[in-house]
C-alpha cells in the first residue's frame, strides 16, 4: 500500500536559454564566491565567460579540476582554499560531479571535527551547518541540481559512497539547454542512461497502487526514449535538449519516489565497478540493471509487465512481456552505444571477488526487499559476464 511520506524540495530551478544572466538576482551582493568546476569544458563552451560576466562586481575565486566521480582528495584541497579565503557562497558550474563535490564541500568547509571522509561522507558526525550553494548545470544526467544527494569517491581506497541530507539542497540551479549543445556524444548518452536508470530504481520494484508516481515515472522513461537518440543525432535541437534536461532533473528530485518502495541495488553494485574499474557511472548501471531484472524476475514481475505494456507498448503473454521488458531495456542502452555485458568492460572474477568481499565486510543488503547481498551481487555480476 501507498506509504506515508514527507516531501519538501526547496530548490529554485531557473530553466531556459539565457538564464545564466539571472545569477546576480540569486547570490548576495557581498558574497565571497568560490566558483567550482571540472575539466575545463566551461571555457571552450562559453559558459565560464557567461558566468563571469553575470558576476561582474562580485568577489570571486575559482577552483577547477574536480573529476568525474569527484574525489575526496581533490575536494579537500578545495576545502582548504575556501577556508583560508573565507568563502561564503559556493557556485558549482558544470555537471553532476562538480555539484556533488561542491555539496560535500559546503558541509566540510565549516566543519571543525576533522576526518571528513568518515564524519561527513560516511555520515558518522551530525551535520552542523552548510555554506549556501548555487549551480549552473551543463550536463543533464545525475539530477543533482534538484536533490540533496552527493556521491563522493576516495582514491586512496578505491571507495565510492553516497551521502544525503537536507542541507545539501542547492539554493538554486540554473539549467540552460543551450549550454549542453557542445557535450561529447558519449556524455550525452551516459546522461540519458543515468537518468533512465534513476527512474527504474524508483519504479521497477513491486506495485503499491501509487498511480501518480507510476504514471510520472513512465512519462519520464517515455520522454527519455523519445529524446535520447534525437539529442545525440541533432545536438542543437533545443526542444530535445530541454526535454532531456528536465527529464534528468525530475528523474531524481523526489517527485516519483514519494510513497513507493525503492531498489538502488543497481547503483550500489555499479558504484563498486566504477570505484574498482573506472567504468563511467552510467555504463556501470547498464551492466547491472538488465541482469538484475532477470535475477529478480519473480519479485519484479508485476511491475515488469506494467513497464512492458505502458512504456514499451508491448503485448503478449506475461512471459513474453517480461522477456520483452528485459530485451527492450538492453536494446535501449545499446542503442545509446552503451554495452550491457560485463565482458565488454573487462570485468572478471577478480573484480567480482573484491566486490563480494566488500559487501560481506560491510554487511551490505540492498534492493526493495533488502536481499541483494554479497551472494546476490556475485550472481548478478556473473550473469553479466556470462554472455
What residue ranges bind its own copies (CB under 8 A)?
1-19, 209-212, 214-216, 218-220, 222-223, 226-227, 238-239, 242-243, 246-247, 250, 255, 258-259
Q: Are 335 and 299 in contact (CB under 8 A)?
A: no
Rounded Cα gap, residues 303 and 266, in angstroms: 16
Nearer to its own copies, 199 or 273 (CB): 199
Dihedral pair phi/psi, residue 12, rounded to 5°: -90, 115
Smallest separation, CB 13 to its own copies (Å): 5
Nearer to its own copies, 109 or 175 (CB): 175
SS3 210: coil
Chain position carrying cell 512519462: 219
Smallest separation, CB 323 to its own copies (Å): 25
Rounded Cα gap, residues 44 and 30, in angstroms: 29
Smallest separation, CB 94 to its own copies (Å): 21
Q: Are 339 and 347 in contact (CB under 8 A)?
A: no
Nearer to its own copies, 218 or 263 (CB): 218
Smallest separation, CB 198 to its own copies (Å): 14
Rounded Cα gap, residues 144 and 168, in angstroms: 10
Nearer to its own copies, 169 or 359 (CB): 169
What is the CB neighbour count within 10 angstroms for residue 16?
14
Nearer to its own copies, 19 or 36 (CB): 19
Smallest separation, CB 343 to its own copies (Å): 35
SS3 90: strand
For the residues of 232-267, what is the DSSP string, one character each? HH-TT-HHHHHHHHHHHHHTTSSTTTTTS----HHH
Rounded Cα gap, residues 364 and 374, in angstroms: 7
Nearer to its own copies, 247 or 326 (CB): 247
- The single-letter DSSP state of residue 258 is T
Smallest separation, CB 290 to its own copies (Å): 24
Amino acid at each position: 500500500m501507498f506509504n506515508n511520506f514527507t516531501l519538501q524540495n526547496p530548490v529554485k530551478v531557473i530553466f531556459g536559454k539565457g538564464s545564466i544572466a539571472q545569477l546576480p538576482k540569486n547570490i548576495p551582493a557581498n558574497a565571497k564566491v568560490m566558483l567550482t568546476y571540472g575539466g575545463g569544458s566551461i571555457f571552450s563552451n562559453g559558459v565560464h565567460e557567461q558566468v563571469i560576466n553575470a558576476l561582474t562586481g562580485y568577489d570571486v575565486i575559482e577552483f577547477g579540476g574536480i573529476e568525474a566521480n569527484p574525489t575526496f582528495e581533490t575536494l579537500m584541497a578545495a576545502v582548504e582554499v575556501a577556508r583560508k579565503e573565507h568563502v561564503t557562497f559556493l557556485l558549482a558550474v558544470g555537471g553532476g560531479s562538480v555539484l556533488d563535490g561542491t555539496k560535500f564541500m559546503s558541509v566540510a568547509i565549516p566543519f571543525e571535527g576533522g576526518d571528513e571522509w568518515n564524519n561527513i561522507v560516511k555520515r558518522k558526525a551530525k551535520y552542523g551547518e552548510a555554506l549556501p550553494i548555487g549551480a549552473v548545470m551543463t550536463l543533464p544526467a545525475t539530477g543533482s541540481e534538484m536533490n540533496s544527494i552527493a556521491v563522493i569517491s576516495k582514491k586512496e581506497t578505491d571507495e565510492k559512497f553516497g551521502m544525503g541530507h537536507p542541507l545539501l539542497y542547492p539554493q538554486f540551479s540554473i539549467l540552460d539547454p543551450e549550454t549542453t549543445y557542445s557535450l561529447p556524444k558519449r556524455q550525452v548518452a551516459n546522461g540519458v542512461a543515468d537518468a533512465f536508470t534513476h527512474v527504474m530504481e524508483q519504479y521497477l520494484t513491486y506495485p503499491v497502487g501509487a498511480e501518480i508516481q507510476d504514471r510520472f515515472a513512465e512519462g519520464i522513461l517515455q520522454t527519455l526514449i523519445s529524446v535520447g537518440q534525437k539529442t545525440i543525432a541533432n545536438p542543437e535541437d533545443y526542444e530535445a535538449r530541454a526535454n532531456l534536461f528536465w527529464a534528468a532533473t525530475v528523474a531524481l528530485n523526489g517527485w516519483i519516489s514519494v510513497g513507493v518502495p525503492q531498489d538502488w541495488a543497481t547503483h550500489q553494485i555499479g558504484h563498486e565497478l566504477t570505484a574498482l574499474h573506472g567504468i563511467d557511472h552510467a555504463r556501470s548501471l547498464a551492466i547491472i540493471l538488465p541482469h538484475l531484472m532477470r535475477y529478480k524476475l519473480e519479485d519484479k514481475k508485476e511491475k515488469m509487465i506494467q513497464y512492458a505494456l505502458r512504456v514499451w507498448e508491448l503485448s503478449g503473454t506475461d512471459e513474453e512481456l517480461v522477456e520483452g521488458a528485459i530485451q527492450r531495456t538492453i536494446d535501449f542502452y545499446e542503442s545509446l552505444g552503451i554495452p550491457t555485458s560485463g565482458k565488454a568492460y573487462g570485468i572478471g572474477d577478480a573484480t567480482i571477488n573484491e566486490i563480494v568481499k566488500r559487501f560481506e565486510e560491510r554487511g551490505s543488503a540492498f534492493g526493495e526487499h533488502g536481499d541483494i547481498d554479497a551472494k546476490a551481487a556475485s550472481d548478478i555480476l556473473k550473469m553479466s559476464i556470462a554472455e
